[in-house]
Chain A
Amino acid sequence: MMGVVIVVLVVIAALLAIISGVWVALALITAISARRAIPDTQCRTDGQSSE
């Protein structure tokens, strides 16, 4: 039983890592398929861009 739990945790960890990779890949595709790699913003002050 313990063995199954450990292996299930390992499999969940592997799937989470894969999901993270896919998420970042999608963000990358969005970034590089836009006209500019990372959107150039007007030089904002920190106050404007910070929460």
Chain B
Amino acid sequence: MHTVLSVAVIVTYVAVLTFVAVRARAAREFAEFSLARRALPLALVFGSLAATYVGPVFSIGFVGRGFKSGLLFLGVGLAYAVQNILVGLFVAPRLRLLKGCHTLGDAIGQKYAPKCQVLAGIISVGLCAGFAAVMAKAGGDVLRSIFGLPHWSSVIVVVGITALYTTFGGLRASVITDAFQFSAFAILLPLMLLLVLIFHLNGSAATFVKEASAATTAGFDSTSPIKILGLVAAFLLGETLIPPYANRALASKTTGVSRNGFVLAGLFSIVWFMVMIALGIAARGIVRGDIEEDKVLLKLVESTMPGAGYALLMVVLISIIMSSLDSLLNAGAVSFTQDIVKPFAKVPDSTALNIGRCATIVIAAIAAVGALAVPSIIDGLLICYTIWAPAILPVLIIGLWIKRPRPLAGILSMGIGTLVAIMFQFVFPSATEVPAIIPALGAALLAYMLGHWLERAYEERK
């Protein structure tokens, strides 16, 4: 009976998702595919941003961290909220003001030079494929735990469904389905927390606080200050304006919508982290203590929800992952078309649309294959963060703010930032206790200053 009910819940959910995706319509031109015609209202920008950043780390990962380290990760998570709010106040509106801009690469190309756009495009596409591989692995993990399918086939199902609607609908379909998926998890997971607090927390509020205190103390005991610093840096900078977020800033209806969307998404992240951490703390009285961090939420759902509720929440977990994956596939495809193909060939709009669609499929295929090589969800994401922040952020943020950015500064900063991040992450991982993102950011900033100074000196001599 439970199985029939569970299958019915899953089939209903997929049917509604399909209906929503179909209502989003296929994109008919590249401007629709890449920017949804720059007509997104505030609620959809906010919902889509939140659905994109709430991936496996901010759900499964944070519940696990709440279980093991209590409130420690709430503090770390605040860095992420601050980042979103700062981007909303100072960067997103400036980005939205740029004319004819489809991607971050476009923005960098407009501010520096076309060659900088190509380099930014290559980094963006590579990082989108990397992030997508991590999401594909997480989606495969969850689907396998529901149906017991082999991991590779679970990955193919998750990536295949996501690629299907993203390929045809572009950003419009991605945002519309994100809004649906956001509504599902933003309502159901907090509802589950309330049910756990009411029916499963033995004793009272005092029990919850006792567990929170014990977990937080254990968290601080097992995490060195330098590691906490590295985590704060990764959460503050690592996901700042990654291509899907930038696309939403660019696709907002107005600069005000762009600004408010990011600020609201930042405020929502505080609320969301509290809910996830609280679920982890509440799980301490329900789930065995020696469980793996990534399995706490799955086990908690299994232990506290009846059959159909379990199936529904599992589908919601897949939604969380698919909503991040679709945004990454679309952002990577748009970046490939706009930043890598268009600078070299003048292509008509219909060809650009077809290139974008093909690129979506290719990036999805790379993500599915890459998913098998991803070490773990958190490790995979930290690698992507480590490369993204030094490679792009100094160039983008300084470029948006200073009067005359120099192309040499852009090229040197992106190139050296990427190389130093890769060196510290892969070649000499134990060279320093400091997380790779920090020296790589320092190197990128120094390279920027050097390039800026050299080019200015050259211009003055001329």
Chain A contacts with B in 1-28, Cβ cutoff 8 A: 2-4, 6-7, 9-11, 13-18, 20-28
Binding site for B on A (CB under 8 A): 2-4, 6-7, 9-11, 13-18, 20-28, 31-32, 36-41, 43-47, 49-51
CB distance from A43 to the nearest CB of B (A): 7
9 further A-B pairs in the complex, CB-CB below 8 A; given A13-B275, A46-B96, A49-B38: A10-B274, A14-B275, A24-B47, A27-B43, A28-B44, A28-B179, A31-B179, A46-B99, A51-B254
A-B contacts, 30 of them at CB < 8 A, read A6-B205, A7-B209, A10-B197, A13-B271, A13-B274, A13-B275, A14-B190, A14-B275, A15-B190, A17-B271, A18-B186, A18-B187, A20-B186, A22-B187, A24-B46, A26-B43, A28-B20, A28-B43, A28-B176, A31-B41, A31-B176, A31-B179, A32-B176, A37-B24, A37-B176, A38-B39, A38-B40, A38-B41, A41-B38, A50-B96
A38 and B197 contacting across the interface, CB-CB below 8 Å? no
| Number of residues from B at the complex interface, CB < 8 A | 54
- Contact pick for B183, options A2, A22, A38, A45, CB 8 Å: A22
Is the CB of B152 closer than 8 A to any CB of chain A? no
Known A14-B193, A17-B268, A31-B44: A7·B205 in contact at CB below 8 Å: yes
> B336 — which chain A residues lie within 8 A by C-beta?
none
By beta carbon, the residue of chain A nearest B100 is: A46
Is the CB of B256 closer than 8 A to any CB of chain A? yes
By beta carbon, the residue of chain A nearest B183 is: A25
Is the CB of B393 closer than 8 A to any CB of chain A? no
7 nearest interchain CB pairs?
A21-B186, A27-B43, A24-B47, A14-B190, A25-B183, A3-B209, A21-B187
A31 to B459, CA, bound (A): 52
Which residue, A4, A22, A36, A38, has most C-beta atoms of chain B within 10 A?
A: A38
A26 to B88, CA, bound (A): 24
A35 to B153, CA, bound (A): 37
B36 and A38 contacting across the interface, CB-CB below 8 Å? yes
CB distance from A21 to the nearest CB of B (A): 3
